[in-house]
Amino acid sequence: MSPVRALVAVTLVSAALQLAAQSGLTVPKAIEAGSAFSVQSSGSGQGTVYIVGPEQVLKRDVQLGSTINFEAGSLYNAGHYLVFLSGSADTATLDVLPAGKIADVSFLARPSRLPVGLREGITGAVYVFDSYENLVTKPETVAFELSTPGGAAQNRNITTRDGAAWIAMDSSPKEGAAQFVARVGGISTTRIIGQVPGDPCGIQMTAKPSGPKVALETAPVRDCSGNAVPDGTVITFTENYNGAQTTVDVPLKRGVAKVEMPAVPGATITVASGVVLGNQIRWGR
């Protein structure tokens, strides 16, 4: 509650207590957020009923002795409310509980991209809300599912505690855009997690003469789980000969890297990607 509203509430309460009279209110102990409810007043004459709670204040002029009806949607913020009548010392409390039906789910999934085969690398957190954006604190079962096209799905059920549930899951050994789904109360929310290949594994190149040059080509480059390393990954070819060196950084295209380098008899040619080394060729034409 904001300080201004709190001050208003305190002022109203003290004003009501000062105006003591023979009147009172009968208030339900608890209601569901957004539901209709009624308050029974006693006494005679005119009065004003105040309902003060978190982020919300209701004021209603009433004929004392009558029933005051509040229509559905009047009180919608879950929390503890204070009910009092002007000119009366009596106060009552009213608890507004989150609606039972889940209407909205916030699903935070991190990270949006990670390497394959990473243990507990993906985390998901779910917050469940009713239609008035109140956190539903009643335990609910959230079904998490992480599925990669062509791979087995991982399924886990977690019960919410104080409106939240969270989980850590392994990235699959198969690359691709994984669907990370959280289902609760008939609502399903999906996040896409990019599972990308890891470092190249066992880079193999071959060499053949190409006019005055040597044509070098790698075999399709894969990570240690057998996933194709994405195009654009830089493969470095280095040729050492007679105290000189030639280097080319070649991005993978269609899974392989190709380059033509000087054909120098006795040259040593190596291939690498990042910090991963591949095979070595000695050009002895």
Partner 1 sequence: MGGRFLALLLFAATIVLIAIGTIWPLPEATVYAGSGGLSSNSSTPQAALRSFGEALHSQAWGKAYFSLANRAQFTLPQFMADMMGYYPNLRTYSGLDTLEMLPVHATDTDAEYQVKMHWATVVGDAVETRDVHVVKNDGRWEVNWPFTKEQVVPPQVIPVNYLRWDVIYRGAGDDWGAADVESPHVKIIDMHPVQRAEGTFIMGELLNEDVEPAYVSVSATLLNKSQQPIATEGSFDKISHLLLPKQVTPFFIKFADVNLSQVGGVRMTPFSTLIPASADPVIEIQDEKLDTSAATSSLSGQLVNQSGQIANVAHVLGTFYDQNGNLVWVADQYVDHALLPQTPVAFNMHIPEDLAHKIASQRTVISTYIMGGTA
Q: Contact positions toward partner 1, by CB under 8 A?
A: 106-114, 189, 191, 194, 196-197, 199-200, 229-235, 243-251, 253, 259, 261-262, 273-276
> Which of 14/112 has CB closer to partner 1?
112
> Which residue in the block uniquely carries the two structure tokens 């991963």?
276
Q: How far is CA 26 from CA 61, 87, 92, 168, 171, in A?
A: 16, 16, 8, 49, 57
Q: Which residues are paired to 41 by β-bridges?
A: 25
> In terms of Cα–Cα distance, which of 72, 160, 146, 143 is closest to 116?
146
Nearest approach, Cβ of residue 269 and partner 1 (Å): 13
> Which of 25/235 has CB closer to partner 1?
235
Nearest approach, Cβ of residue 254 and partner 1 (Å): 9
Pairwise CA distance, residues 121 & 115, whole Å = 9
Nearest approach, Cβ of residue 174 and partner 1 (Å): 15
Q: How far is CA 129 from CA 156, 228, 256, 262, 263, in A?
A: 21, 41, 49, 66, 68
> Which of 148/233 has CB closer to partner 1?
233
Q: Are strands 30-32 and 91-97 parallel, antiparallel or unpaired?
A: parallel
> Which of 25/216 has CB closer to partner 1?
216
Q: How far is CA 253 from CA 137, 221, 231, 233, in A?
A: 52, 10, 5, 9
Count CB neighbours of 162 within 10 A: 11
Pairwise CA distance, residues 205 & 181, whole Å = 41
> Which of 4/275 has CB closer to partner 1?
275
Nearest approach, Cβ of residue 110 and partner 1 (Å): 6
Nearest approach, Cβ of residue 64 and partner 1 (Å): 46
> Which of 68/229 has CB closer to partner 1?
229
Nearest approach, Cβ of residue 238 and partner 1 (Å): 8
